[in-house]
Every structure is written in structure tokens, then in C-alpha cells.
Amino acid sequence: MLRALKWQEDLVLSIKVEDGVFAIAQMRNNYLLEVFDVFRAEDNWEGVDLNRLDVLFTIFVSVKNIKGVFSRLTTEAEIIPNQRPVEKRMLSAIFGAPGNTGARLIELSDDYSNIGAETLKDSLSQKDDLDLIYRYELCGMVGDPEKILSRLKKYRETGVNWDPSKEFLFPGIQLPSR
């Protein structure tokens, strides 16, 4: 476990999901963390090229609060960082009275912020926009390390990549299939 950690774009870190299970993540622009679809039994990432792996999810994080999920920093000698463009489309939550919640699809600003983001589609519905709800991440800040770990564990066990926070915004939503 890392004791101290400062944000550094393109820094690649190993995540200890649980005993004997490790995943990999990369810090990107403006506190966006990319988590990749790769798991290892040992904390060894020798020869991994992140440009060739699928990004499982990209979320805004509070590094101060989640630093405990990381087991160590990787080195440039063992891993090639992802250089592909960062996903800029995200879901922006709409909070209203009970039963009046949802999200809009936005494109983050050039600074990778939801401030000044362009709205691509307002008021997504489960009926018409389920594919967008499944595909894109919420743009809120994740500060609870257990949310990241439980999501990774569930994905490993079921093959379903899902942020349960979406269930609050879209009550009764069906979980995506594999």
C-alpha cells in the first residue's frame, strides 16, 4: 500500500483488488483514472503495453482518498503507458425530486472538466438511451476506495462492468449483460 501519492499524469499504478488479484490503472488528465481490463495473480506487469488493452472504465478520483487501493507504482522499464485519447464523453447526473432523477450525456471541456462541458443529449431515458447509460461513466468524483475495489471484484466474478450509482439515477434499471 502506498503511503503518499501525488497526481502525476500518465503515472501507472498497480491496484491490489484482493489477495492474489491485481489490476492496473493510469492517471490521466484532470484526475481522470483509467482502469484497464487486465488482472494478474502477481503484482508483475513486465512487458504490458496499455495501448493494446481495453479500458474498463475512466472515472474522476480523489487520489488522497483512494491511494490505499494501489499496491505500488510501476516503472517505465516494465510497462508502456496508454497514449490513446482519454474518453471525454460522460454522464452528468440530474438530481431532482424522488423519481425525477437521470443523466445527460456530455463531452468534457478541453480541460477535461464538466465545467464548460457540451451537452450532447439531455435527459437520457432507459427506454431510448440504455446503450448510452451502459457505455458511459458518471462524471462525479469517486473518493471511496471500496467502490473501485467492489466494482473490479464484481467484474471479475460476473463479467459485468457496472457502476451501481447509476441505479440511483435510473431506478429499476436492468444490469447490463456480459
Cell numbers at 147, concatenated: 467502490
Residue 130 phi, psi dihedral angles, 5° rounding: -55, -40
CA 159 to the chain's CA centroid: 15
Q: In whole angstroms, give the CA distance from residue 112 to residue 26.
A: 15
What does the H/E/C string look like for 23-87? EEEEECHHHEEEEEEEEECCCCCCCEEHHHCCEEEEEEECHHHHHHHEEEECCCCCEECCCCCCC
Give the chain's mean pLDDT.
Answer: 94
pLDDT per residue as tens digits for the range 48-86: 999 999 999 999 999 889 999 999 999 989 999 999 999
Residues 6+ apart with CB under 8 A from 173: 126, 130, 133, 166, 167
Residue 152 phi, psi dihedral angles, 5° rounding: -65, -40
Q: In whole angstroms, give the CA distance from residue 153 to residue 147.
A: 10
pLDDT per residue as tens digits for the range 142-172: 999 999 999 999 999 999 999 999 999 999 9
DSSP β-bridge partners for residue 66: none
pLDDT per residue as tens digits for the range 88-142: 999 999 987 766 899 999 999 999 999 999 999 999 999 999 999 999 999 999 9
What pLDDT, on the 0 to 100 scale, is given for residue 1? Answer: 66
87, 62 Cβ separation under 8 angstroms: no
